[in-house]
C-alpha cells in the first residue's frame, strides 16, 4: 500500500483505501481507548451530577492529561467528558477554558450551548459578557481564578501585579511555538497579560509557594510571568525554566525557621515516597494547580440573558449569584506541600 500523488492518473481496477474523515467518525469510535469502566456511571452518580447544576460541570483535572484531544490523542478531558458526561443531553459538555497538559486543577465545562457561549465571553472579555441585569454584571465582576505554584527562588516583592504583554514566536525548527514577553520593538503581535501574585511563605529548600490570580487568560501566561517577569520559574516547568532547573540543586539546604531561628528541616513523612514527581524527585512534575474558581451561577441567569431581561424569576431569586469551587492538589504537589508547609499562610 502506498500514498497516491495528487497528479497521478488512476488505472481501471485499482483498489483505493480512503480514510474515514474526522467529521464522520462517531464519538464512540473515536474514543475506544477510554476505559469502559469510566463510561457507565451508576444511577446515583448521574442523579447527583444532574442535581448539582444544569448548566455547567466542574472537574479536577489530573496532571499530564491533555484538555483538548485530536485524532492521535484519545484520552483527553473533552473526550472523556463527551463520552461519559452527556447523560440526557444531545451533545457532551464543551470546554469553556483550558489548562496546560502538565498542570492540574479546576476545569470548567458548559452543558448547554447557551452556558458555553456566555461563559466563553466571560473568560475572553468580561465586557462582552455583561447585560442589562445588574445582578449578573456584579457576578461577572466577582469572577476569578486562583492558582498555587511552587517556584524556584522567591520574588523580590511579597505581592504585586505583573503587567507584561506576551508574544508568540516560532523556534528554529519552524514548528515549535513559544510564548515570550513582548518587546516594544518586536514585530510580532502582542497580547496584554496581567497577573496578581502573592508569596505564601518563606523560601524553603530554595523554593517558595506562590498564589497566582490571572486577570487575563493567555496561553502559558502564568508560566512565562513566573519565569521571565519574576525570575522564579515554576518547579517542573522545563520549557520556560530549563536554565534555572539545570543550576538548581535539589538538595536539602539550611533555611532558618522564622519563629525559632533554628535551621529548618524538611518534613519527611515515614513511608511516603517523595520521588513521585515531588520537589525532591530527580525530575519533578509541573507544580502549577488551579485551586479555586469563583464564577456567576449561570443556571440562575440564563433566562435573563436569553430574553435580555432585568428581572429574575421568583423561584430563582433565592439561589446564590456566584458559585465557588476548590480543588485538592495532585499527589506530587501534596507531597511537596507536606515537606515544606510549616510556615505558610
Reported residue count of the chain is 345
pLDDT at 26: 41
Residues 201 and 338 in one domain: yes
Residues 249 and 114 in one domain: no
* pLDDT tens-digit series, residues 114-172: 888 888 888 887 766 677 788 888 888 899 999 999 999 999 999 999 999 999 888 77
235 part of a folded domain: yes
Residues 65 and 153 in one domain: no
Q: Are 168 and 212 in contact (CB under 8 A)?
A: no
- Residue whose grid cell is 503581535: 189
Nearest to 138 by CA among 149, 126, 151: 126
pLDDT at 290: 95
pLDDT at 182: 87
pLDDT at 22: 41
pLDDT at 204: 81
pLDDT at 324: 92
Residues 114 and 217 in one domain: no
Other beta carbons less than 10 A from residue 215's beta carbon: 16
Residues 207 and 317 in one domain: yes
Residues 146 and 68 in one domain: no
Q: Give the span between the Cα atoms of 38 and 85, in whole angstroms.
A: 10
Residues 338 and 221 in one domain: yes
Using 50, 70 and 90 to split pLDDT, how confident is the model at 31?
very low
80 part of a folded domain: yes
CA 191 to chain centre: 19
Using 50, 70 and 90 to split pLDDT, how confident is the model at 32?
very low
Q: Give the span between the Cα atoms of 281 and 288, in whole angstroms.
A: 16
- Residue whose grid cell is 465571553: 121
Residues 205 and 323 in one domain: yes
280 part of a folded domain: yes
* pLDDT tens-digit series, residues 158-204: 999 999 999 988 877 767 788 889 886 666 788 899 999 999 988 88
User: Which of 129, 150, 170 is the C-terminal boundary of a domain?
Assistant: 129
Q: Give the span between the Cα atoms of 278 and 325, in whole angstroms.
A: 25
* pLDDT tens-digit series, residues 232-270: 999 999 999 988 888 876 545 545 665 666 666 655 555
Domain membership of residue 20 as a residue range: 16-129
Kindly report the backbone phi and psi dihedral angles of residue 289, in degrees, each rounded to the nearest multiple of 5, phi listed first: -135, 125
C-alpha torsion sign, points 97, 38, 54, 26: positive
186 part of a folded domain: no
CATH code, domain with 282: 3.30.2350
Q: Compute the 3-state secondary structure of the chain and give helix, strand, coil in percent, each to the nearest 5.
A: 25, 20, 50
232 part of a folded domain: yes
Residues 250 and 224 in one domain: yes
Is 27's pLDDT higher than 50? no
Residues 253 and 119 in one domain: no
C-alpha torsion sign, points 159, 147, 243, 170: negative
Q: Are 282 and 322 in contact (CB under 8 A)?
A: no
* pLDDT tens-digit series, residues 33-71: 444 444 455 566 555 555 555 788 888 998 988 887 665
pLDDT at 132: 74
Q: Just list the catalytic residues.
A: 100
Residues 339 and 228 in one domain: yes
Residues 95 and 157 in one domain: no
SS3 331: helix
* pLDDT tens-digit series, residues 276-332: 788 878 889 999 999 999 998 888 887 777 765 556 666 667 788 889 999 999 999
120 part of a folded domain: yes
Number of structural domains found in the chain: 2
Q: Which residues sit opposite 290 in a β-bridge?
A: 105, 147
Amino acid at each position: 500500500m502506498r500514498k497516491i500523488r495528487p497528479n497521478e492518473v488512476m488505472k481501471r481496477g485499482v483498489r483505493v483505501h480512503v480514510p474515514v474523515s474526522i467529521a464522520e467518525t462517531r464519538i464512540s469510535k473515536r474514543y475506544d481507548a477510554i476505559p469502559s469502566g469510566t463510561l457507565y456511571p451508576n444511577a446515583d452518580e448521574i442523579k447527583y451530577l444532574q442535581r448539582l447544576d444544569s448548566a455547567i460541570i466542574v472537574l479536577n483535572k489530573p496532571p499530564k492529561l491533555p484538555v483538548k484531544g485530536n485524532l492521535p490523542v484519545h484520552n483527553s478531558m473533552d473526550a472523556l467528558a463527551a463520552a461519559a458526561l452527556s447523560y440526557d443531553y444531545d451533545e457532551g459538555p464543551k470546554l469553556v477554558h483550558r489548562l496546560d497538559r502538565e498542570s492540574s486543577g479546576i476545569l470548567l465545562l458548559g452543558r448547554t450551548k447557551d452556558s458555553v457561549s456566555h461563559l466563553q465571553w466571560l473568560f475572553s472579555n468580561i465586557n462582552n459578557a455583561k447585560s442589562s441585569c445588574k445582578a449578573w454584571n456584579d457576578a461577572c465582576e466577582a469572577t476569578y481564578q486562583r492558582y498555587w505554584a511552587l517556584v524556584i527562588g522567591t520574588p523580590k516583592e511579597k505581592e504585586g501585579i505583573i503587567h507584561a504583554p506576551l508574544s508568540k514566536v516560532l523556534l528554529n525548527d519552524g514548528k515549535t511555538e513559544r510564548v515570550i514577553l513582548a518587546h516594544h520593538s518586536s514585530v510580532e503581535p502582542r497580547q496584554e497579560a496581567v497577573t496578581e501574585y502573592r508569596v505564601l511563605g518563606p523560601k524553603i529548600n530554595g523554593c517558595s509557594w506562590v498564589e497566582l490570580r490571572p486577570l487575563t487568560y493567555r496561553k502559558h501566561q502564568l508560566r512565562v510571568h513566573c519565569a521571565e517577569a519574576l525570575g522564579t520559574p515554576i518547579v517542573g516547568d522545563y520549557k520556560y525554566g530549563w536554565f534555572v532547573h539545570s543550576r538548581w540543586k535539589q538538595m536539602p539546604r539550611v533555611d532558618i525557621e522564622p519563629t525559632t531561628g533554628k535551621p529548618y528541616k524538611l518534613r519527611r513523612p515515614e513511608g511516603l515516597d517523595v520521588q513521585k514527581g515531588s520537589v525532591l524527585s530527580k525530575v519533578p512534575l509541573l507544580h502549577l494547580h488551579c485551586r479555586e474558581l469563583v464564577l456567576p451561577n449561570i443556571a440562575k441567569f440564563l433566562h435573563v440573558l436569553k430574553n435580555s431581561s432585568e428581572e429574575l424569576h421568583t423561584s430563582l431569586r433565592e439561589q446564590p449569584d456566584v458559585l465557588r469551587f476548590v480543588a485538592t492538589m495532585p499527589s506530587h504537589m501534596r507531597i511537596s506541600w507536606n515537606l515544606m508547609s510549616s510556615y505558610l499562610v
